[in-house]
Structure 1
Amino acid sequence: MYERPAGIENSRIWIDGCFDFAHHGHAGAMLQARQIGRELFVGVHSDEEILHHKGPVVMHLDERLAAVAACKWSTQAVPDAPYVTAPWFIDKYGCQYVVHGDDITTDANGEDCYQEMKDLGRFVVVKRTPNISTTDLVGRMLLMSKEHHFQPIKESLTGHPLFTKQEYLDQFTTYASDASGLRPGSGVYVHLGGKQESLHELVAPSDATKQLYDTVFYIDGTFDVFHPGHIEALRVVKERAAAAGAAVVVGLYDDWVSNHTKGLNYPIMNLLERSLCVLQCRYVDGVILGAPSSATPEFFALFPGKVAHVFSGSAESPHPAVAAISVPIGPHKYDNINTSFIVTRVLDNRAAYEERQRRKGWKASHEAQLKDQDAS
């Protein structure tokens, strides 16, 4: 049902959503939509529309637009898209087909948001990314759970689920693809510590990206709940790197290091989720999993090129051993946003988000019934 029409590869595709916490599930949908068409326009619902149909947002419209625009598979982010997808609206942007995951999304009345598009034969299904949603992430914040964390990365890839499960390896490769979603793009590496410190190549970069690696602009951190503060910082670094013909490489701390530093149940997103969020960003040319929290010249010597600058959000370098090449990012539009700020937003509105969680449970049951009807 809803098979891909002939010639869709030459069409402009539409996809829409809330994109609240722009997580890798959202990016996965945009990736699949981009792979089947020529261009991808992404509609983003207003705060008011989401409140009416679903519940309160965590991230406001301008913040959610920034996240969508930063996804390398989006051609254009479109604000104030109607919650119930309307042909007249997507026609304004020259979009022939709308893409959505293989689940059902309903409005405040329990009606299928895409029914009209389905009736017109302009609806295409892609696979929904399992085990991730904004509701899941809000739940982790409210419940303070840590079951999602992965074990530390040590001296070998052997036995670590991130590097032994084919499903995860396929995701690294897919999310590292270029702006078309069809060809190689970014490189993915794993830092292994111990006496024989090394950098293992998990996904090879494209030839064009490999050339950029001659000069590297490095930035590291947890990048938890990938948000506009991260995105704007990466945009600033990418702008400077592009002027120098350099690559932007992001070092990601593993879950153990992040939790040891911040405590409680941080990181809210595990290393897999955080790495996929960073990889989908158009301002990133490479990712290092399990990067050390204190960078050293010995670590940088493992890189495929010379590390020219190390960027950070603070005026004082967090890496004393490489302070000579450290550069502060400086003030930017979203430098007031960090992960703790977002968690505080959720906890300060706990009652409203708990009601959203309960409402989601009812809607999930109803949407499952509609999905069964749709398939029959």
Structure 2
Amino acid sequence: MSHGKLREEKDCLNCGHLVEEKYCPNCGQQNIQTRQPFYYLFTHFVEDFTHYDGQFWGTIKNLLFKPGKLTNTYLEGKRQKFVPPVKLYIFISFITFFLFALFPPFDINFEGKGKSKLLPEKNKITEIQKALEETRSKEKLEEKDSIYISKLNAALKDSAKINELQGTFDMSKGMSEDSEFNGFTNRKSYDSAVAKNPSFFDFINTPFAHKYFELKEQGVKKGEILKKLYETSFHNLPKALFIYLPIFALFLWIFHNKKKWWYFDHGIFTLHYFSFLLLNILIFTFLNKLTDVINISFINGIIYFVMTLMVFYSVIYFFIAHYKVYNSHGIVSFIIGTVLFTINFFAFLFLVAGLGVISFLMIH
């Protein structure tokens, strides 16, 4: 790994102090040439984040397989051995969402879904109607004909319901004229009803309703709406995770001894746990993409088994890390961990739901 060509001059360009060797003893800046070959930019970037002296890879190994180890080491004051928690989280977050932007983890092409089943159902309705007309056109209807007509009518109703349901999920179409939001088919009727009977939740419902009717009037296809909703939600997800970091740490602070544990300590635990989750999600997505490339059922079966273990490990990891960092009694740690995990699970779901609403409102 190149560190850049050293200057012959011994004065530090940053502070002017005398530099005897590579680094300035006063400010720590490396005494290298101000201009370097282009490849130096890339190698310097990689070196900064991966630390080929083993710091980066040792951090990743401990993060994945030794829950709580990084947090304990950092809080003990040993902070040069591993990558700092803030830098680790930012780097893993950047890599995860950068790769997701290049290789989306889910298929976002919703166009045309539902067409293949919709056409056969329409043909079935036509055949039933034709059979009804033929039966009713008989000069004299017998008892078996009446029973047959009843069955055909029932089948016609069922097929109509299925056809309507399939139409709802047909992503190639826009919203129909009679599609409703809270019983209203247009913005004018909705605003009129809200003005007459205002509600406490209007500040949430009204913007959502206006966006719904706006998309309806524009004739935006359902597939396009879902695609834009997915893309907007994905772009907002890093922000949501970043916002939730202090909330997660706050819940930890509430449930632990305030004299022994500072909010700062909980923040370090949170950064390490979220870094693990992001890295786990990245590996999980990579394995999922791998199954699309490998068409060998036996190997894919092994990959799916590993992916299943990773999901369970993500949950168990929190309890192990919590126990090792906070040193509570086993049962007490498990109870507190369960309460914290449950609260955070529903709180994050609430945040994701809010993210979905914001993403919908941002569709244009």
Q: TM-score, normalised by structure 2?
A: 0.23
The structure with the greater share of residues assigned to strand is 1
The structure with the greater share of residues assigned to helix is 2
Larger Rg: 2
Q: TM-score, normalised by structure 1?
A: 0.23
